[in-house]
Amino acid sequence: MKKVLVTGADGFIGSHLTESLLEKGYDVKAFAYYNSFNTWGWLDTLPKEKLDQIEVFTGDIRDPNGVREAMKGVDGVFHLAALIAIPFSYHSPDSYVDTNIKGTLNVLQAARDLDTERIMVTSTSEVYGTAQYVPIDEKHPYQGQSPYSATKIGADRLAESFYRSFQLPVSIVRPFNTFGPRQSARAVIPTIISQLLAGKEEIKLGSLTPTRDFNYVKDTAAGFIAIAESDRTIGEEINIATGQEISIGDLAQEIIGQINPNAKIVCDEQRLRPEKSEVNRLLGSNAKLKELTDWKQQYTFAEGISETIKWMRGNMGAYKADIYNV
């Protein structure tokens, strides 16, 4: 597998994965969301020498023709293009069905027609909902606790059906909560860091008790590549998790400690999710990932936070720290 397509390469994880693939000597085609400004998302921030090595294809994952065109001549596909914000899915669920389910179907259909060697479909720990037992392994039941998670469950099951029905060489890659440079402010870690770096003494957050299993983005990208490079992962769904959990409250204290120990946390009602929709506990098992690949976590949580703060200090112009970003 020498030439690969990354859909969603203009996004947070996709841009890091694109860089990691280049570093490993892959020939990378990056699928970015077409727009009239001709912006390529986070790819625009890469150094020119890196960008010159990437073939950028602009299109819309919802369009089967463009997807098929982009996939011609590639050996493998890392399919990351998706709508991911949970609060936005509450009022715009149609767009999630079109992008996440239909977009995945477009990739699977094209892969089948073009005999693509490997397809990595990106899932999310949100498909599990609140943990019914921990650590959450790949046999944990699914729970559609938001329209977002329901569409990701649908996309995963479509991928499984193409493996079972047509022997399509699919792997379902399931990252737990990923964080790091370039993450949008709708995620909790950039929310806290951007408010602190903007000099705010009161940090507005939703619920503080839920726990999450946080991967630093470079470890997540390494997980994608390790899964793609192992033949044993075909037809499997695999968590990328650290096996450690931290509550949102403790996480906020860690970041406050690194930036401004005097800051206080206040609860902002509009940031609370509906009670039955809030995922209260996520703690993943990475036993399967470690058994089928040679992946190892390289960054501790504190190291990842420190790298993220350093990057955000130089990129505050990309954040709207004084509003609630959905």
pLDDT tens-digit profile, the chain (326 residues): 899 999 999 999 999 999 999 999 999 999 999 999 999 999 999 999 999 999 999 999 999 999 999 999 999 999 999 999 888 999 999 999 999 999 999 999 999 999 999 999 999 999 999 999 999 999 999 999 999 999 999 999 999 999 999 999 999 999 999 999 999 888 899 999 999 999 999 998 988 999 999 999 999 999 999 999 999 999 999 999 999 999 999 999 999 999 999 999 998 877 777 878 778 899 999 999 999 999 999 999 999 999 999 999 999 888 876 766 65
Contacts (Cβ under 8 Å, ≥6 apart) of 22 = 28, 50, 53, 54
The pLDDT score that the predictor gives to residue 236 is 98
Half-sphere exposure of 45 (CA within 13 A, CB side): 14
The residue ranges of every structural domain in the chain are 3-178+215-240, 180-212+245-282+301-318
* Four-point Cα dihedral 51, 58, 37, 313, nearest 10: -40
Strands 118-122 and 246-247: unpaired
What CA–CA distance (Å, rounded) separates 152 from 158?
10
pLDDT at position 323 is 63
The predicted pLDDT at position 78 comes to 98
So what's the pLDDT on residue 318?
80
**H or E stretch at 221:** helix 217-228
DSSP designation for 136: B
Distance CA 187, CA 185 (A): 5
d(CA 281, CA 268): 20
Token pair, residue 16, equals: 């890091």
Q: At what angle do helices 188-197 and 248-259 cross, to 10 degrees?
A: 30
SS3 state of residue 98: helix
Instruction: Tell whether the torsion through CA atoms of 288, 293, 294 and 296 is positive or negative.
Output: negative
Q: Tell me: domain 3-178+215-240, CATH 3.40.50.720, correct?
A: yes
Superfamily of domain 180-212+245-282+301-318 in CATH is UDP-galactose 4-epimerase, domain 1 (3.90.25.10)
Domains 3-178+215-240 and 180-212+245-282+301-318 fall in the same CATH topology: no
The confidence score (pLDDT) of residue 279 equals 83
Q: What's the confidence (pLDDT) of residue 325?
A: 63
